[in-house]
Amino acid sequence: MSGTKYLATIWLAFLAAGMAALWVALPARAMPHLYQVDVWYASWGTPGISAYESLSQNASVVNEVNPYWYALKPDGSIVPYAGDPRLLSLARRNRIRVMPLITNEFDPERVHRILSSRASRDAQATKLTRLVVEKGYAGIDLDYESLYASDRNRFSAFVEDLARRLHARGKKLSVDVHPKTSEPGAWSGAKAEDWRRLGRAADEFKIMTYDYHWDGSKAGPAAPPKWVNRVLAFAETQVAPRKIRMGLPFYGRDWVGTKSKDLVHTDVVGLMDTFSPAIRRGLSGEPYFHYPSGHTVYY
């Protein structure tokens, strides 16, 4: 099956708080049998619109929520972020799976420490399994990013062990991975992820198919479709298709040279209202515009 076909069959959406206006345009409501819609909910976003309010508007098209609720800290502890308990109740009332996200806050050293010995890996897997069971979650979404390439085998072993423990308790594991089009990958974070092993262990394989251009690169689209298709086509050779999720970026960026900042939908609308720029589309199809003082916005 080609990567293009996945765009009509399996979907993973990124929806930060306050971005529901972009969400309702997706055709999942009309064709629910074709979509698996999982949503990452952050506690930040458009002022005045909470994750709870956003999910309230879109609960009928969402299958799973992955709220940003936990962080792995340098000492190996799992610390909760401030979360809205209403989100959990709302999801359960609508029979939406709740699998909270745990992040390493982009610090590879934290994960390296827990991977350094069998004892520390076991301790971490035990903590995560206990958290899921005690809180009554459907599972956990593992978002350990930018890892050391040298931790590739140890990270795979950790994920395999965690998956076994969760499955024994009737729980699920999803793993978030950096995009790539071949093994082992072009940089350390991607090289640390053995897609074949991780894909066998996890129930859901969530590919972050965005940031093709990033803060530090030249201005350009976050997720050019042709590149996304190449990533998905490679994923099909490594992972069972039913597990694959495509990451969809619901944000934009404002560049000056190679420096950029993230934008949510209302930021983009505000710039349009202020400067009335001409909207253009590059070869990727993603819209962009320029405004004074050397700014370029892709959204």
Q: Which residues pair with 287 in a beta bridge?
A: 281
DSSP character string of the chain: --HHHHTTT-EEEE--BT-HHHHTTSTTTT-GGG--EEEEE-S-BSTT--HHHHHHHHGGG-SEEEEEEEEE-TTS-EEEPP--HHHHHHHHHTT-EE--EEE-TT-HHHHHHHHSSHHHHHHHHHHHHHHHHHHT-SEEEEE--S--GGGHHHHHHHHHHHHHHHHHTT-EEEEEE---SSSS-SSHHHHT--HHHHHHH-SEEEE----SS-TTS-S--SS-HHHHHHHHHHHHHHS-GGGEEEEE---EEEEETTEEEEE-HHHHHHHHHHH-PPPEE-TT--EEEEETTTEEEE-
Q: Which of 33-37, 135-139, 142-146 has the lowest mean pLDDT?
A: 33-37
Report the pLDDT averaged over residues 133-152.
98
pLDDT tens-digit series, residues 85-127: 899 999 999 999 999 999 999 999 999 999 999 999 999 999 9
In terms of Cβ atoms closer than 10 Å to its own Cβ (0-12, 13-18, 19+), residue 227 is middle
| pTM listed for this prediction | 0.87
At residue 41, the pLDDT reads: 85
Q: For residues 205 and 235, is the Cβ–Cβ distance under 8 A?
A: yes
What is the rounded average pLDDT for all residues in the chain? 88
Q: For residues 19 and 264, is the Cβ–Cβ distance under 8 A?
A: yes
At residue 102, the pLDDT reads: 97
**Residue 45 pLDDT level (bands cut at 50, 70, 90):** low
Report the pLDDT averaged over residues 177-202.
98
Which candidate, 47, 59, 60, places its Cα nearest to that of 86?
59
- The answer, yes or no, to whether residue 14 has pLDDT greater than 60, is no
At residue 50, the pLDDT reads: 82
Query: Which domains occur in the chain, in start order?
Result: 3-250 (3.20.20.80), 251-299 (3.10.50.10)
